[in-house]
Amino acid sequence: MPGLPPHIGIDRPGSFSRSVFHERHPVLIANLLGDHPYPPHIAEALEALLAESLAGTVPPRTPGGPEIHTWHLETEAHAGLPWDSLPFLWAESYFYRRILRAVEYHHYDSPWCGVDPFAPQKRAQLDGPELRADLDAYAALEGAHPDDRRRALLLAALWGNQADLGFRTDNPDASTSAGEIVADDSDALWALADGPGDAPVIVVADNAGREITADLALVDHLLETGTGPVELHLKPHPYFVSDATGRDVLDTLDVLDRDPHEPVRGLAGRLRDAIRLGWLRLRAHGAYVHPTDYRTIPSDLADDFATAKLVILKGDLNYRRLVGDRQWDPTTPFSEAAGYFPGPVAALRTAKSDLAVGVDPARLAKLDADAPDWRLTGTRAFIQVKA
């Protein structure tokens, strides 16, 4: 779009975005082949996709699945281009769409139809010791001062974003503890969420597992302290490795139900009641798996965003789609980069890609001097608000 910085690409040797394709994706495909007894034709399709994405061009064939018209137009606009020349956001999104095609996720007459290729990895996190520790910490909040509890729930949802499984594919030992918050507009976030009226607060979820668990605890708090309903927006089908779908929310509630801590079981019970009573609305929308940024969201979703009290966007990918996955000067004000968004919006994100906006110039200089890879390690976080 005119007036915006150029897209981040995957062509530059040594760049993070290129490493996602050349280092992370080979591990990702190997994990899929290890996790499932795929028959030869599916294994071959996954290996061919990997080879194509490393050295080939975009074929003219539209990848199957829902919203075929959108994908037809997107494919037409990029067919014949070398993968190397594609914008990072588009290429990654298309890659995951093609994974679903390769594993026959949308093929109604395939036994693999509806089998989430990432389910084993998601399940492992739901059964893991880190989630156990998160739930112990949640239970320990019982009786905390309301301000401390509120802050703890917000920070859990923020740092929960470190736990995305795509990032962990080639960073298995990455830090899982809280780090530095580079921008903290949390007062503005609460001022909007606590505002009067019965318009919903929308939480656009990111990852399953530890992150959605923390998000559900935050949603419960928003329901308790707010004056309107809450909408939790989910992916309509598997997408980037650990993106949360409706199935993942139900699996998470089952885990919470079985927890030894009463406050955790109580959380699950309140959430189930809220869903039944319509206070918590679970929603999915095809736009969340489009290969484009939120400047081009369909008008029905834009209308929902415009009339919400606040939209909370979780995670790095939503951040890339919100501000545009572009070579922004990191000191560009967040309100400028996200100024087009149709309503009040808050981004909660740990930095796991080159993109950053809204960084104070002195802080940027220090970050760049102290830890040149600070944008990529998931150890720096952002809470940014455009009212």
In the complex with ligand F6P, the residue whose CB is nearer, 265 or 285, is 285
Which residue from 166, 172, 265 is spatially nearest to 207, judged by alpha carbons? 166
The residues, any chain, with a CB within 8 Å of residue 205's CB and separated by 6 or more, are 211, 212, 215, 232, 233, 234, 235, 244, 314
* Shortest separation between residue 118's beta carbon and ligand F6P, angstroms: 12
- Return d(Cα 207, Cα 163) in angstroms, integer: 8
* Shortest separation between residue 211's beta carbon and ligand F6P, angstroms: 8
* Shortest separation between residue 370's beta carbon and ligand F6P, angstroms: 21
CB-based burial label for 18 (10 Å; 0-12, 13-18, 19+): middle
- Return d(Cα 204, Cα 313) in angstroms, integer: 5
State whether the Cα torsion 86-90-92-96 is positive or negative.
negative
Residues that bind ligand F6P (CB under 6 A): 20, 92, 161, 164, 166-167, 206-207, 240, 315-317, 320, 352-353
- Return d(Cα 116, Cα 103) in angstroms, integer: 9
* Shortest separation between residue 316's beta carbon and ligand F6P, angstroms: 3
| Residue carrying the six token digits 């923390």 | 214
The residues, any chain, with a CB within 8 Å of residue 41's CB and separated by 6 or more, are none
In the complex with ligand F6P, the residue whose CB is nearer, 88 or 138, is 88
What is the residue type of 321? Answer: R
In the complex with ligand F6P, the residue whose CB is nearer, 191 or 284, is 284
* Shortest separation between residue 161's beta carbon and ligand F6P, angstroms: 5
* Shortest separation between residue 288's beta carbon and ligand F6P, angstroms: 11
**How far is C-alpha 367 from the chain's CA centre?**
24
In the complex with ligand F6P, the residue whose CB is nearer, 185 or 354, is 354
In the complex with ligand F6P, the residue whose CB is nearer, 104 or 167, is 167
* Shortest separation between residue 165's beta carbon and ligand F6P, angstroms: 8
In contact, 142 and 206? CB cutoff 8 Å: no
In the complex with ligand F6P, the residue whose CB is nearer, 169 or 186, is 169
In the complex with ligand F6P, the residue whose CB is nearer, 91 or 271, is 91
